[in-house]
Structure 1
């Protein structure tokens, strides 16, 4: 599908013409258009391939030799690749304009057909998990090519104690397109369609949230009230979505025998519950040393006795309020990557040059930012809502890090490239750190250095403290939902119960803030995803400390880690760096970097 490049002056807010030309996705590397003959060809192939796979292998896995099982794995992998290409194309088109009925229909129709075709494959994981351990180990020992897929098999077999009957698993698979995914789409479309009135101007959610980082406090307050008014008016819808999804999860977890609402996420992330608990406890214990201390400093800088929630992301009074053009953002991030290793910049180059980034804010576009890996015989795409703020430059560095990681991991193939969420943030947060260190080194004076340090501390607090607070909110919500329907007021109360604890005594919480749980997409799309951000930040802080120690082999080991994708456990990936995430002291190392930045900021006040 040929796509134009958006000029920033066609954006949704005045002043965007200062940003330069903002790129839009070119999705033709996947398919030319929704009615391209290649889509029909691939859909037809997929239908036949799924039918043939079930005919050839259902009830037969226990009889296969190593060569036969490898052939089955390779055929299954190809099916995943073709289905992934179709859904990547449909999804990326949809997220460009979620309010477009044709795009929504196209994605839903693709999802429905693929769900129908792949129902015949449900037996694969169930029957595979019934193979005897000794038999499977024997086959793995006979074929190195088959043994390469052992991490995939390990993740499959981790679900063995929790799998249901073949019939029930098929039912859940068939029902999925009208279950969680339908509620996900309702959430996305509702959020994208919301309009917010701020000082006589009608804005999207991205434009309104952006105002919370304005220098003018009255603008921030007006944006807050605009958000609170609309969230409050829609809270019944958002509460219904949360109630339904949490109950659906509770029912499925109960049938599977999963001991906690978080267990499924831990299994998917291939991380031990005690490691996540150690991370959570370390961060909560550090709240007073991190967020509480920092926000007391911030209140002083802003000349306020108390902060309001619309001051949380306010820039410092000394901060340069100019907009960062797209060309400058590209140059800054690319140079930071190149200074670490020219290979990083080379990998990032095609994202800018070949239409792999969609940057402009547009009506109906999904909020936030992400990097989508698509499939291993294509390439990733990055979505941004670029408004020219310094934080947007860091978001570019973050998402581009994901993209570089996904390009490198693609060599593992479709089944092994996907990185668990806990490790998926590694390259993204590292890319942010490289960009920050470059800007800090180039700071022209102490005021500029202070603004950069404060901005980085706030980003790290948002990545670590706030995400663990989100994790605690989700934990409370899912536990409460087990005991009955939750009213909007119930959810509001759960939200507020963790806010003062995480943000500290410098804050007041204006009426309306209790509804701000409503717009956070991770709660809807990926329950308990959020701790991965804190995991990734702590991991990268520890990695960066090793890098600063001057290990001459660090870069090669770092690239090897990214190339591994999902083929290794976090213990094996971190071992070459002398790190171990299962050691509770590991998390204190990462948190100490944030403390060090706050120490430096406090010293500037002396």
Structure 2
């Protein structure tokens, strides 16, 4: 019997036994069998949503809750046991079984919700409390209904995507930068996406993600063009300042990420920042820590995985490759977002689009940064903090929008036929010139995972970082009145889009200068202060 890995004991105890005791826990098989039965039984609602939509939604919620329990346990155990064939096979088995069953027995749901007449839909909203509760989700389904395929086609597309993506992502991960394998993976996956987008009628390769994020194509395009216009100015200005400062011994050790192994110190930095901002959020940070949901070491990268079993059963696991406070601040921001959204919205509507998830995580980073800035012991420490933040934000915003821009170029070129390695290189260098006014210093392969695994996810970081900067500027103006607004923002989950989420803060994303102001209140604000301090200290 395989116990939960020993690396999860003590400091690293993630309490996965809140889900299952071990990977041979008989409850896993029992739950999977129950879930299979629940999914198959869901087909009884087919053709009957006009009278049974509320019952179908209740059943769908229960399915999602049990699904989350199984999927997140097997994913976490597999990730924490990289060398375990047993853990990997269990993860693949659970995911493959569930996804194929949902495609076979549940794919009718969205199409039938869309096909309801407006009168029938309004009547259901008035007469069924369950339907009324889930109106934000149902409205979103109806809004994207024009892009839905016939049920059989939806099933075929789902299965095709599972098979091809699993095959090529696996090959990509094993390739160790084998350019032929990666080029083939890109061509197949980009080609599949373009084919599906054409079937559905999306305007651009990015439109599907924008629609699911409830944000207009024009707003996202404005984000890209604004960041591209300022990228080289920001990078050059930072580079010139840092070059002048690097002659001083005190600044030679300034780094973007420092792998500080003092977990207690780094944890306390984050907790202290939240103590000064929000007692509600600070209590939840302590709850995550005290319940043992944080693991340091034993994983590649860092992430937060949240299993929402019901409104009251929410388990957020924060896994860190090392204990840098910035990494912890980022991931605890995700955990806080998940907890507030799940307790309010439940298994079906808690998971916000990635642009809002990254807003929460990057707001958390900025909160800790500003707290440190306010408590800097002298101007020299303050200057170091500013330099680290500017460099970090370049990676968060400029680098990720650069990646997204490259991704757009790849899809546009793929419409003309398969790309060769040389074509990728040309597009990569073109993108570098647009953003940095210089030749690329790295290969496109090192930033390639976003196309193979999650198309256009990369722009979520740039979006979230700048939206967080806008929120932080409002926080500075509003003082204590900001906290309840922010808590409400976190609790919305997937129920509102960008315009509605921004409105309570007095922000209008459709304003032509919105992204310009975000950049002004982050990059340029920090650069201005850094240059003033450098002059004051006599370094430049």
TM-score for the superposition, normalised by structure 1: 0.82
Aligned in 2, Cα 1:122/1:530: closer, same or farther, shift over 3 Å? same
Structure 1 residue 540: Cα displacement:
1.2
* 1:60 correspondence with 2:48: yes
CA contact (8 A) 1:279 1:584 kept: no
Helix, strand or coil at the partner of 1:532? helix
Which residue of 225, 230, 254 corresponds with 1:319? 254
Aligned in 2, Cα 1:509/1:53: closer, same or farther, shift over 3 Å? closer
Q: In the alignment, what sits opposite 1:554?
A: 482
Which residue of 53, 60, 66 corresponds with 1:76? 60
CA contact (8 A) 2:318 2:331 kept: yes
* 1:465 correspondence with 2:398: yes
Structure 1 residue 97: Cα displacement:
3.4
Helix, strand or coil at the partner of 1:180? helix
Q: 1:255 and 1:588 mapped to 2: Cα distance?
A: 36
Which residue of 175, 178, 202 corresponds with 2:160? 175
Q: In the alignment, what sits opposite 1:277?
A: 221
Count residues with an aligned counterpart: 524
Deviation larger for 557-566 or 373-382 = 373-382
Which residue of 337, 358, 365 corresponds with 1:432? 365
* 1:533 correspondence with 2:461: yes
Q: 1:6 and 1:381 mapped to 2: Cα distance?
A: 11
Helix, strand or coil at the partner of 1:380? strand
* 1:565 correspondence with 2:500: no
Q: In the alignment, what sits opposite 1:146?
A: 131
Listed as ranges, the gaps of 5+ residues in structure 1 are 8-20, 195-230, 305-314
Aligned in 2, Cα 1:509/1:587: closer, same or farther, shift over 3 Å? closer
Aligned in 2, Cα 1:86/1:548: closer, same or farther, shift over 3 Å? same
* 1:577 correspondence with 2:505: yes
Q: Deviations over 1:393-434 (max 9, x none)?
A: 211101110001101111211111111122112221111111
Q: 2:209 and 2:95 mapped to 1: Cα distance?
A: 23
CA contact (8 A) 1:129 1:157 kept: yes
Where does 1:359-508 land on structure 2 (aligned, <5 Å)?
Answer: 359-360=296-297, 362=298, 365=299, 367-376=300-309, 377-386=313-322, 392-411=324-343, 412-504=345-437
Q: In the alignment, what sits opposite 1:220?
A: none
Which residue of 425, 434, 446 corresponds with 1:518? 446
Q: Deviations over 1:286-318 (max 9, x none)?
A: 2244223212322333359xxxxxxxxxx9415
Helix, strand or coil at the partner of 1:179? helix
CA contact (8 A) 1:496 1:514 kept: no
Structure 1 residue 80: Cα displacement:
1.6
Q: Deviations over 1:218-266 (max 9, x none)?
A: xxxxxxxxxxxxx3xx222222222221111111112222221111111
Listed as ranges, the gaps of 5+ residues in structure 2 are 536-540
Which residue of 4, 8, 23 corresponds with 2:6? 4
Helix, strand or coil at the partner of 1:379? strand
Structure 1 residue 278: Cα displacement:
1.6
Which residue of 88, 91, 105 corresponds with 2:75? 91
Structure 1 residue 269: Cα displacement:
0.8
Structure with more helix by fraction? 2
CA contact (8 A) 2:403 2:447 kept: no
Aligned in 2, Cα 1:319/1:262: closer, same or farther, shift over 3 Å? closer
Q: 2:304 and 2:116 mapped to 1: Cα distance?
A: 36
Q: Deviations over 1:165-192 (max 9, x none)?
A: 211112223334312233334434x27x
Structure 1 residue 334: Cα displacement:
0.8
* 1:336 correspondence with 2:273: yes
Q: 1:487 and 1:252 mapped to 2: Cα distance?
A: 22
Q: Deviations over 1:78-101 (max 9, x none)?
A: 112211221111111222234432
Q: 1:552 and 1:447 mapped to 2: Cα distance?
A: 30
Q: In the alignment, what sits opposite 2:538?
A: none
RMSD across aligned C-alpha pairs, in angstroms? Answer: 2.3
Structure 1 residue 582: Cα displacement:
2.0
CA contact (8 A) 1:292 1:504 kept: no
Aligned in 2, Cα 1:90/1:6: closer, same or farther, shift over 3 Å? closer
Aligned in 2, Cα 1:117/1:235: closer, same or farther, shift over 3 Å? same
* 1:251 correspondence with 2:183: no
Helix, strand or coil at the partner of 1:382? strand
Helix, strand or coil at the partner of 1:374? strand
